[in-house]
Amino acid sequence: MSRPPYTESFPLFRPIHARIDFDALRHNYLRTRELAGGARMWAVIKANAYGHGITRIARGLAGLADGFALLDLEDAVRLREAGITQPILLLEGFFSPKDLPEIAARQLTVVVHTFEQLDWLASVSLPAGTRVPLFLKINSGMNRLGIPPAQAMAALARLRAWPHAGVIGLMTHFADADGERGVETQLARFRPLTEGFDGPLTMANSAALLRFPQTHADWVRPGILLYGASPATAYASAEQIGLKPVMRFEAKVIAVQHLQPGERIGYGGIFTAERAMRIGTVACGYADGYPRHAPNGTPVAVDGVRSRLVGRVSMDMISVDLTDIPAAALGSVVELWGEHVSLDDVAAAAGTVNYELLCALALRVPAVEVGNADVSALTG
């Protein structure tokens, strides 16, 4: 049987991979930039770039992204060592004063969201002339991180008084930009603080960027859009937004079973054959990041033909229905999500969100890169 060339790329003994498409990534970046209407973009690459590989995605966007946003100092250092020169934003700031010398030396941009962090800034001594760009995070209603609006001016005054303060910006984050409540209540608390403020402002995650242009300001912070998934599936699908999936998660059929009507499949026997059936056992399970709660009927594609999951997801295997795909056999490629099966459909079936599926991709799944990384801008 002839197959498209990508199926030859399973790099390990066990036939499973996540195919990462740099061309789709760049397409999504440019599409998101179009939607952001002139705002600069922090490409959010936390959580191992939503499972896609943090240095891989940074390489993929190296010549394009205005900046990168993440959580871990170690990751930021790795990007600097890989030659990334753009601003890098530490979304949760620093967790201890001892991290500040490295943050300053690596020229990272830091979110400050507690008064304790303000104390820590005052407590460290940095080389003369050091300037650290900062964003003061305001809690406008998410109630997770941030200074209450009533204390924002006091915090801002303390930041300005820090001798190493570089450019100071204001930031907030929305709790329901993908939902019915939207952003207005939070905007009403944030906006007064920004009047007459001359530093950069950043508010929008992907959902706000997509749905509420009034949140675009100077910098937007898209994550999920860059990976080609919708931040608000109730409002628009990835396809409707004009995005392309960056990840294609695939594994091969490693065994074929012939079932008689009434026979059951897998742990607990939660699927019973309705007729004589041909079942493919696939080299992918929940230890690879496939959701264990995916029920019977969750979509898959076998050699590009839509089919369904049958039986319970095991640690290392799943079973799929091959009955109506006569050409399918041992070695057939099963797409778990990507091109023929949308991530959002799998997430909906499994009762979770696209974000969780991407982030849960296991480290044991090898990545295969296709298309061109934009490495021209890398110096390292």
Ligand X SMILES: *Cc1c(COP(=O)(O)O)cnc(C)c1O
Tokens of 95: 């967790």
| Secondary structure (DSSP) of 321-346 | E-TT-TT--TT-EEEEESSSS-HHHH
Closer CB to ligand X, 36 or 333, in the complex:
36
Closer CB to ligand X, 56 or 278, in the complex:
56
The distance of Cα 93 from the centroid of its chain, to the nearest Å, equals 19
* b/e 351-368 (16+ beta carbons within 10 angstroms → b): eebbbebbbebeeebeee
> Closest separation between CB of residue 50 and ligand X, Å?
7
Report the C-alpha gap between 346 and 340 in whole angstroms. Answer: 11
Report the C-alpha gap between 121 and 126 in whole angstroms. Answer: 10
> Closest separation between CB of residue 25 and ligand X, Å?
14
Q: Which residue is nearest to ligand X (CB)?
A: 223
Closer CB to ligand X, 224 or 310, in the complex:
224
Report the C-alpha gap between 25 and 31 in whole angstroms. Answer: 10
CA distances from 249 to 4, 16, 44 (A): 15, 8, 21
Backbone angles phi, psi at 219, to 5 degrees: -130, 135
Closer CB to ligand X, 220 or 341, in the complex:
220
Radius of gyration of the chain (CA): 23
Backbone angles phi, psi at 292, to 5 degrees: -65, -25
Closer CB to ligand X, 90 or 300, in the complex:
90
Question: In three state form, how does the secondary structure of 236-302 look?
Answer: CCHHHHCCCCCEEEEEEEEEEEEECCCCEECHHHCEECCCCEEEEEECCCHHHCCCCCCCCCCEEEE
**Coil, strand, or helix at residue 17?**
strand
Report the C-alpha gap between 138 and 155 in whole angstroms. Answer: 10
Give the burial class of 200: count Cβ atoms within 10 A of its Cβ; 0-12 exposed, 13-18 middle, 19 or more buried: middle
Active site residues: 46, 267
Closer CB to ligand X, 217 or 282, in the complex:
217
Residues in contact with ligand X by the rule CB under 6 A:
44, 46, 91, 173, 205-207, 221-224, 231
> Closest separation between CB of residue 224 and ligand X, Å?
4
> Closest separation between CB of residue 289 and ligand X, Å?
18
> Closest separation between CB of residue 243 and ligand X, Å?
12
> Closest separation between CB of residue 26 and ligand X, Å?
17
